[in-house]
Amino acid sequence: MRPPAVFPTILTVGLLLAVVSFPAGAQTGRPPAISERQFTGGSAKVTVTGSAKIDEDIAINTKASYGDGEMTWLQFGASGSEAPNAIITYGETGETGITVGKGKLIATSGIMPGEESECSGKVKVTATLISGEYVCAGVTSFDPATGLGKVDIKVRFTAKS
Q: Which residues contact 47 (CB under 8 A, 6 or more apart)?
A: 54, 55, 153, 154, 155
Question: 47: buried, middle or exposed (CB in 10 Å: 19+, 13-18, 0-12)?
Answer: middle
In this prediction the pTM is: 0.81
Instruction: Identify the pLDDT of residue 29.
Output: 59
Residue 124's DSSP bridge partners are 131
51-100: pLDDT as tens digits:
999 999 999 999 999 999 999 999 999 999 999 999 999 999 999 999 99
User: How is the chain split into domains, by residue range?
Assistant: 25-160
27-59: pLDDT as tens digits:
345 889 999 999 999 999 999 999 999 999 999
9-13, 142-146, 150-154: which has the minimum mean pLDDT?
A: 9-13
Instruction: Identify the pLDDT of residue 3.
Output: 45
Let me know: does 123 contact 140? Beta carbons within 8 Å.
no
Q: Which residues contact 149 (CB under 8 A, 6 or more apart)?
A: 50, 51, 52, 140, 141, 142, 143
Instruction: Identify the pLDDT of residue 23.
Output: 33
